[in-house]
Amino acid sequence: MTNVKESRWNRYRVWKPLGLMVLAGLTPPEWEITIMDENLGAPDYAALPRPDLVGITAFTSQANRAYEVAAHFRRLGVPVIMGGIHATACLDEVMERVDSVVTGEAEGIWPQVLEHVRHGDLKPRYDGGLSEAGNIPPARHDLLASGYAFGAIQTTRGCPLNCIFCSVTAFNGAKYRQRPIADVVREFKLIREKRVLVVDDNLVGTRPEHIARAKELFRAMAQANLRKEWVAQTTINFADDEELLTLAAEAGCRGVFIGFESTTKEGLSEIGKKFNHRNGRDIRASVRRIRQHNILVVGSFIIGLDTDEPGIGRRIAEIASRYSVDNINVLFLTPLPGTRLWDRMKAADRITLDGYPEDWKYYTLTFPVARYKNLSLDGIIAEMIACDRTFYSMPRILRRVWGNLRGRRQPLMSLVGNLSSRNNFHLSCKKYTAFKRYLE
Nearer to ligand B12, 111 or 408 (CB): 111
Among 7, 162, 390, 423, binds ligand SF4 (CB under 6 A): 162
Q: The dihedral of CA 365, 322, 268, 314: what is its sign? A: negative
Among 117, 166, 204, 401, binds ligand B12 (CB under 6 A): 166
Provide the 8-state DSSP code for 219: H
Window 167 to 226, contacts with ligand SF4 (CB under 6 A) = 168-169, 201-202
Among 90, 166, 316, 397, binds ligand SF4 (CB under 6 A): 166
- Binding flag, residue 105, ligand B12 (CB under 6 A): yes
Nearest distance in Å: CB 2, ligand B12: 5
Is residue 329 within 8 A of residue 316, CB to CB? The reply is no
Q: State the binding partner of 178 from ligand B12, ligand SF4, none, CB within 5 to 8 A by kind.
A: none
Query: Residue 273 burial by CB count (10 A; 0-12/13-18/19+): exposed, middle or buried?
Result: buried
Q: State the binding partner of 102 from ligand SF4, ligand B12, none, CB within 5 to 8 A by kind.
A: ligand B12
- Parallel, antiparallel or unpaired: strands 177-178 and 156-157: antiparallel
Nearer to ligand SF4, 161 or 295 (CB): 161
Is residue 153 within 8 A of residue 189, CB to CB? The reply is no
Is residue 248 within 8 A of residue 285, CB to CB? The reply is no
- Binding flag, residue 199, ligand B12 (CB under 6 A): yes
Beta-carbon contacts of residue 7 (< 8 Å; ≥ 6 apart): 423, 424, 427
Q: What's the angle, vertex CA 118, arms to CA 113 and CA 123, rounded to 5?
A: 40
- Parallel, antiparallel or unpaired: strands 229-234 and 253-261: parallel
Nearest distance in Å: CB 342, ligand SF4: 14
Is residue 313 within 8 A of residue 303, CB to CB? The reply is yes
Nearest distance in Å: CB 177, ligand SF4: 13
State the SS3 of 92-144.
Answer: HHHHCCCCEEEECCCCCCHHHHHHHHHCCCCCCEEECCCCCHHHCCCCCHHHC
Nearer to ligand B12, 199 or 413 (CB): 199
Window 37 to 76, contacts with ligand B12 (CB under 6 A) = 39, 55-57, 59-62
Q: State the binding partner of 154 from ligand SF4, ligand B12, none, CB within 5 to 8 A by kind.
A: ligand B12
Residues that bind ligand SF4 (CB under 6 A): 159, 161-163, 166, 168-169, 201-202, 235, 259, 273
Residues that bind ligand B12 (CB under 6 A): 1-2, 15-19, 22-23, 39, 55-57, 59-62, 81-86, 89, 102, 105-107, 110, 154, 166-168, 172, 199, 201, 331, 336-337, 364-365
